Protein backbone atom coordinates (compact mmCIF):
# COMPACT_ATOMS: atom_id res chain seq x y z
CA UNK A 1 0.00 0.00 0.00
CA UNK A 2 1.46 3.33 -1.03
CA UNK A 3 1.27 5.65 1.98
CA UNK A 4 0.69 8.69 -0.22
CA UNK A 5 -2.65 7.06 -1.13
CA UNK A 6 -3.80 7.03 2.50
CA UNK A 7 -2.69 10.50 3.63
CA UNK A 8 -5.69 12.69 4.37
CA UNK A 9 -8.07 9.72 4.28
CA UNK A 10 -9.74 7.32 6.67
CA UNK A 11 -8.91 3.76 5.60
CA UNK A 12 -10.13 0.47 7.07
CA UNK A 13 -8.65 -2.94 6.22
CA UNK A 14 -11.07 -5.83 6.76
CA UNK A 15 -10.55 -9.57 6.51
CA UNK A 16 -11.59 -12.85 8.03
CA UNK A 17 -9.40 -15.35 9.86
CA UNK A 18 -7.90 -16.81 6.71
CA UNK A 19 -6.31 -13.64 5.32
CA UNK A 20 -3.80 -11.31 6.83
CA UNK A 21 -4.79 -7.74 7.42
CA UNK A 22 -1.84 -7.74 9.83
CA UNK A 23 0.64 -7.98 6.94
CA UNK A 24 -0.89 -4.86 5.41
CA UNK A 25 -0.83 -2.79 8.59
CA UNK A 26 2.73 -3.92 9.40
CA UNK A 27 3.95 -2.81 5.96
CA UNK A 28 2.08 0.49 6.27
CA UNK A 29 3.55 1.13 9.73
CA UNK A 30 7.05 0.37 8.44
CA UNK A 31 6.53 2.73 5.50
CA UNK A 32 5.21 5.49 7.78
CA UNK A 33 8.15 4.98 10.13
CA UNK A 34 10.64 5.59 7.32
CA UNK A 35 8.71 8.52 5.83
CA UNK A 36 8.62 12.27 6.38
CA UNK A 37 5.38 11.65 8.32
CA UNK A 38 6.99 9.50 11.04
CA UNK A 39 6.85 12.11 13.82
CA UNK A 40 3.15 12.73 13.07
CA UNK A 41 2.01 9.13 13.58
CA UNK A 42 0.52 7.37 16.59
CA UNK A 43 0.22 3.59 16.65
CA UNK A 44 -2.44 2.02 18.86
CA UNK A 45 -2.08 -1.75 18.73
CA UNK A 46 -4.99 -3.52 20.40
CA UNK A 47 -4.21 -7.06 19.26
CA UNK A 48 -3.90 -9.93 21.71
CA UNK A 49 -0.85 -12.14 21.87
CA UNK A 50 -0.59 -14.49 18.91
CA UNK A 51 -2.26 -17.87 19.40
CA UNK A 52 -3.07 -20.84 17.25
CA UNK A 53 -6.43 -22.57 17.61
CA UNK A 54 -7.72 -25.30 15.34
CA UNK A 55 -4.84 -24.58 12.95
CA UNK A 56 -5.76 -20.88 12.64
CA UNK A 57 -3.28 -18.21 13.77
CA UNK A 58 -5.08 -15.47 15.67
CA UNK A 59 -3.79 -12.20 17.04
CA UNK A 60 -0.28 -10.96 17.14
CA UNK A 61 0.81 -7.43 17.79
CA UNK A 62 2.69 -5.38 15.24
CA UNK A 63 5.81 -5.53 17.44
CA UNK A 64 5.80 -9.34 16.96
CA UNK A 65 6.33 -8.77 13.23
CA UNK A 66 8.57 -5.71 13.00
CA UNK A 67 10.69 -3.39 15.09
CA UNK A 68 10.46 -0.64 12.48
CA UNK A 69 8.11 1.70 14.31
CA UNK A 70 10.66 3.35 16.60
CA UNK A 71 10.01 6.87 15.24
CA UNK A 72 6.24 6.65 15.79
CA UNK A 73 4.40 7.50 18.99
CA UNK A 74 3.27 4.11 20.30
CA UNK A 75 0.37 3.79 22.72
CA UNK A 76 0.50 0.44 24.45
CA UNK A 77 -2.76 -1.06 25.67
CA UNK A 78 -3.00 -3.40 28.60
CA UNK A 79 -3.17 -7.05 27.67
CA UNK A 80 -6.15 -7.85 25.45
CA UNK A 81 -7.75 -11.19 24.67
CA UNK A 82 -9.63 -12.71 21.76
CA UNK A 83 -12.78 -13.61 23.73
CA UNK A 84 -14.02 -16.30 21.34
CA UNK A 85 -10.66 -18.06 21.61
CA UNK A 86 -9.88 -17.57 25.30
CA UNK A 87 -13.32 -18.02 26.89
CA UNK A 88 -14.68 -21.33 28.09
CA UNK A 89 -18.17 -20.01 28.85
CA UNK A 90 -20.48 -16.99 28.49
CA UNK A 91 -19.30 -15.23 31.65
CA UNK A 92 -15.69 -15.40 30.43
CA UNK A 93 -16.74 -13.95 27.06
CA UNK A 94 -18.22 -11.00 28.93
CA UNK A 95 -15.18 -10.67 31.21
CA UNK A 96 -12.69 -10.65 28.32
CA UNK A 97 -14.82 -8.30 26.20
CA UNK A 98 -15.22 -5.78 29.03
CA UNK A 99 -11.47 -6.00 29.81
CA UNK A 100 -10.68 -5.28 26.15
CA UNK A 101 -13.06 -2.35 25.97
CA UNK A 102 -11.56 -0.78 29.10
CA UNK A 103 -7.97 -1.35 27.99
CA UNK A 104 -8.58 0.07 24.53
CA UNK A 105 -10.65 3.00 25.85
CA UNK A 106 -7.59 4.04 27.87
CA UNK A 107 -5.56 4.10 24.65
CA UNK A 108 -8.26 6.02 22.79
CA UNK A 109 -8.43 8.58 25.63
CA UNK A 110 -4.65 8.97 25.56
CA UNK A 111 -4.71 9.63 21.81
CA UNK A 112 -7.42 12.27 22.11
CA UNK A 113 -5.41 14.07 24.79
CA UNK A 114 -2.38 14.26 22.45
CA UNK A 115 -3.59 13.61 18.92
CA UNK A 116 -1.25 13.35 15.97
CA UNK A 117 -2.05 13.96 12.31
CA UNK A 118 -1.96 10.23 11.54
CA UNK A 119 -3.38 7.34 13.57
CA UNK A 120 -2.82 3.64 12.92
CA UNK A 121 -4.94 1.16 14.88
CA UNK A 122 -4.76 -2.62 14.81
CA UNK A 123 -7.56 -4.99 15.89
CA UNK A 124 -10.38 -2.46 16.22
CA UNK A 125 -13.05 -5.17 16.42
CA UNK A 126 -12.01 -6.15 19.96
CA UNK A 127 -13.06 -2.70 21.14
CA UNK A 128 -16.38 -2.93 19.33
CA UNK A 129 -17.43 -6.06 21.26
CA UNK A 130 -18.46 -3.81 24.17
CA UNK A 131 -17.16 -0.30 23.41
CA UNK A 132 -19.28 2.49 21.93
CA UNK A 133 -18.76 3.35 18.27
CA UNK A 134 -19.23 7.08 19.03
CA UNK A 135 -16.09 7.21 21.19
CA UNK A 136 -14.08 5.37 18.54
CA UNK A 137 -15.31 7.78 15.83
CA UNK A 138 -14.49 10.80 18.01
CA UNK A 139 -10.94 9.45 18.36
CA UNK A 140 -10.54 8.61 14.67
CA UNK A 141 -11.78 12.08 13.73
CA UNK A 142 -9.15 13.68 15.96
CA UNK A 143 -6.63 12.69 13.26
CA UNK A 144 -6.42 13.82 9.64
CA UNK A 145 -5.40 10.36 8.46
CA UNK A 146 -6.52 7.03 9.86
CA UNK A 147 -5.60 3.48 8.95
CA UNK A 148 -7.03 0.58 10.90
CA UNK A 149 -7.71 -3.13 10.79
CA UNK A 150 -10.73 -5.13 11.87
CA UNK A 151 -12.13 -8.62 11.52
CA UNK A 152 -15.07 -8.95 9.12
CA UNK A 153 -16.19 -12.42 8.24
CA UNK A 154 -17.72 -15.58 9.55
CA UNK A 155 -16.33 -16.45 12.93
CA UNK A 156 -15.55 -20.15 13.32
CA UNK A 157 -15.42 -19.91 17.12
CA UNK A 158 -18.14 -19.88 19.76
CA UNK A 159 -19.29 -16.64 21.38
CA UNK A 160 -21.59 -18.61 23.73
CA UNK A 161 -24.51 -16.62 22.33
CA UNK A 162 -23.37 -13.47 24.10
CA UNK A 163 -23.96 -11.47 20.94
CA UNK A 164 -20.43 -10.07 20.53
CA UNK A 165 -20.12 -11.56 17.06
CA UNK A 166 -23.38 -9.98 15.91
CA UNK A 167 -22.49 -6.64 17.56
CA UNK A 168 -18.99 -6.71 16.09
CA UNK A 169 -20.32 -7.23 12.55
CA UNK A 170 -22.96 -4.51 12.94
CA UNK A 171 -20.50 -1.92 14.29
CA UNK A 172 -17.71 -2.79 11.83
CA UNK A 173 -20.26 -2.26 9.05
CA UNK A 174 -21.29 1.10 10.56
CA UNK A 175 -17.63 2.09 10.97
CA UNK A 176 -17.04 1.24 7.32
CA UNK A 177 -19.62 3.84 6.31
CA UNK A 178 -17.46 6.56 7.88
CA UNK A 179 -14.33 5.57 5.95
CA UNK A 180 -13.04 7.01 2.69
CA UNK A 181 -11.59 3.64 1.68
CA UNK A 182 -12.44 0.13 2.83
CA UNK A 183 -10.12 -2.66 1.72
CA UNK A 184 -11.56 -6.18 1.87
CA UNK A 185 -8.95 -8.92 1.85
Average pLDDT over residues 10-17: 86
Secondary structure of residue 122 in the 3-state scheme = strand
- pLDDT value of residue 66: 83
Average pLDDT for the chain: 89
pLDDT at 19 over 90: no
| 67 contacts: CB under 8 Å, gap ≥ 6 | none
The CATH number of the domain holding residue 117 is 3.40.50.300
Report the greatest alpha carbon distance in the chain: 48
Number of separate domains in the chain = 1
Consecutive H or E run containing 5:
none
The residue among 106, 93, 112, 64 whose CA lies nearest residue 159 is 93
Share of the chain above pLDDT 70, in %: 91
| pLDDT tens figures, 159-175 | 667 788 889 899 999 99
Residue 104 — φ and ψ, nearest 5°? -75, -35
- CA–CA gap between residue 116 and residue 108 (Å, rounded): 12
- pLDDT value of residue 59: 65
Q: Rounded to whole angstroms, what are the CA distances from 4 to 41, 68, 147, 159, 171?
A: 14, 19, 12, 39, 28
Which has more confidence, 21 or 80?
A: 80
| pLDDT tens figures, 109-145 | 999 999 999 999 999 999 999 999 999 999 999 999 9
- pLDDT value of residue 157: 61
- pLDDT value of residue 107: 97
Which has more confidence, 64 or 33?
A: 33
Task: Give yes or no for a contact between 24 and 13, defined as CB atoms under 8 angstroms apart.
Answer: yes
- pLDDT value of residue 158: 63
- pLDDT value of residue 153: 64
Q: In a 10 Å sphere around its CB, with 0-12 CB exposed, 13-18 middle and 19+ buried, how is residue 98 labelled?
A: middle
**Residues spanned by the domain of 66:** 3-48+56-184
- pLDDT value of residue 160: 65
Helices (H), the chain: 21-33, 83-86, 90-113, 124-128, 133-140, 164-177
Amino acid sequence: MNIDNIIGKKTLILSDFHTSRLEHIVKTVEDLNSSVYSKKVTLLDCAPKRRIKDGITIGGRIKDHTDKFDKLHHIKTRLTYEPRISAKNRSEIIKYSVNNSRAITTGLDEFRKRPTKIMAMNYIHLYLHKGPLALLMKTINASDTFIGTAFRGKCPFNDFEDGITRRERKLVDKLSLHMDDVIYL
